Amino acid sequence: MDKLSSLLGRQAFSARIFYNGPFCDANQFHENGSAGHLHLVRQGPVEFVHDDGALLRIDLPSLVLYPHGTNHRLQVPAGHTALLLCADIVFEGGKANPLVRVLPGCLHMPLAEIAGLGPTLDLLFGEAAGTAPGRELILDRLCDVLLVQVVRREFDNGKLSLGLLAGLADRQVSAALTAIHERPHELWTLAALARLAGMSRASFVEHFREVMGIPPGEYLSRWRIALGGRLLRQGMPVKLVSSRTGYTSPSTFTRAFTAQMGASPREWLKRAA
């Protein structure tokens, strides 16, 4: 079995269609901690409004996925009628499911951009238009297939990491990863991370490298620098970024950042701009 199939097979999820047909109104979706939401826009326009006021307008046939079930309002502009197929996506373990943890809060993609999706959509929309017995069960299963294809596309495009998914799916490595992700500013040692994983230092280092493909120290450094880059783009000064990412001084952070990114924070920001 290939690695992606093995990992997805362990991160159980299931779709349940709750709407299929024309829609010309509005509906509010609330986060409940147990289910995500999948919207297939077969015909627009449709607008998705988020809590921060951001608006996503869909005119072309598209998929919009909220893996975390994030609050959002679905609305159709006055005078228009959209064609929708919507489903709840129940992930085993809810937000703690490793797959949920590696997916973004909102995933949007035009259907034409998802390679190899045609046959699945033909079957899905064909069943959606019919009335044959077993239709709802088939629609649910086809949505499961669709989700796997979407996740595969994200991995193929480099937007998701198989290593991170594997690590979050591993009970011992996941404990260390969660600590690193949530508290990157702490002065982590291999001994401290090994204790969180419930392993000896040597066993932890070997197991972490086997699962993630790199040593824990290198992963910690990469995570801190990636976080530092995000904070720099938000306008945070180097002095504050260094403390937020666990470096003892701005100069220490700058040296580490330059070594990994190939440019100092100031030069890197200029290039990014």
Place of tokens 């709840």: 88
Q: What is the pTM of this model?
A: 0.68
| Residue 58: band (very low, low, confident or very high) from pLDDT cuts 50, 70, 90 | very high
Report yes or no on 47 lying in a domain.
yes
- Among candidate residues 160, 187, 208, the one where a domain is terminated: 160
The pLDDT value given to residue 134: 86
Any domain includes 69: yes
Residue 28: domain span? 3-160
Q: Do 44 and 104 lie in a common domain?
A: yes
| DSSP state for residue 115 in the 8-state scheme | T
Rg, the chain, Cα only: 22
One domain, residues 60 and 186: no
| Same domain, yes or no: 128 and 105 | yes
pLDDT confidence of residue 149: 85
57 and 12 in a single domain? The answer is: yes
Question: Does residue 33 lie within any of the structural domains?
Answer: yes
Which of 99, 127, 160 marks a domain boundary? Answer: 160
Kindly tell me if the per-residue pLDDT of 133 is higher than 90: no
| Share above pLDDT 70 across residues of the chain, in percent, rounded to a whole number | 93
pLDDT tens for each residue of 244-266:
999 989 999 999 999 988 889 99
Do residues 191 and 148 both lie within one domain? no
Question: What's the confidence (pLDDT) of residue 258?
Answer: 92
Question: Are residue 155 and residue 174 in the same domain, yes or no?
Answer: no
* Residue 233 shares a structural domain with residue 201: yes
CB contact at 8 A, 7 and 103: no
The whole-angstrom distance between residue 31's C-alpha and the CA centroid of its chain comes to 16
Q: What does each C-alpha distance from 9 to 12, 46, 63, 72, 172 come to in angstroms?
A: 6, 33, 22, 29, 19
Residue 81 maps to a domain: yes
Q: Does residue 165 form part of some domain?
A: no
125-149 average pLDDT score = 85
Say what the pLDDT of residue 8 is. Answer: 67
Domain match, 149 and 24 both: yes
Judge whether 138 lies within some domain: yes
Q: pLDDT tier at 148 (50, 70, 90 boundaries)?
A: confident
Q: When comparing pLDDT for 105 and 72, which is higher? A: 72
What percentage of the chain exceeds 90 in pLDDT? 36
H or E, element range at 75? strand 72-75
pLDDT of res. 116:
77
Q: Which amino acid is present at 207? A: H
Domain count across the chain? 2
Q: Is pLDDT above 90 for 28? A: yes
What per-residue confidence (pLDDT) applies to 97? 73
**Same-domain status, 21 and 106:** yes
Supply the DSSP symbol for 188: -
**Confidence label for 3 from pLDDT (cuts 50, 70 and 90):** low
Measured CA distances, 247 to 66, 141, 250 (Å): 34, 48, 7
* pLDDT for the residue numbered 136: 86
Mean pLDDT of the chain: 86
- Sorted by sequence, the CB contacts under 8 Å of residue 147 that are 6+ apart come out as 13, 15, 38, 65, 89
* pLDDT tens sequence across 230-241: 899 888 999 999
- Last residue of a domain, which of 110, 137, 160? 160
Residues 98-126: what's their mean pLDDT? 82
Within-domain flag for 16: yes
- Kindly report the CATH number assigned to the domain that includes residue 76: 2.60.120.10
Q: Which residues pair with 5 in a beta bridge?
A: none
Whether 44 has a pLDDT exceeding 60, the answer reads yes
The CATH number linked to 184 is 1.10.10.60
Are both 112 and 23 inside the same structural domain? yes
In terms of domains, do 151 and 53 share one?
yes
More confident residue, 132 or 252: 252
Q: Is the pLDDT of residue 91 over 60?
A: yes
pLDDT band per the 50, 70, 90 thresholds, residue 77: very high
Residue 220 in domain = yes
Residues 142 and 177 in one domain: no
In this prediction, residue 194 carries a pLDDT of 94
pLDDT of 41 above 90? yes
Report the candidate in 246, 241, 247, 243 with the shortest Cα–Cα distance to residue 228. 241
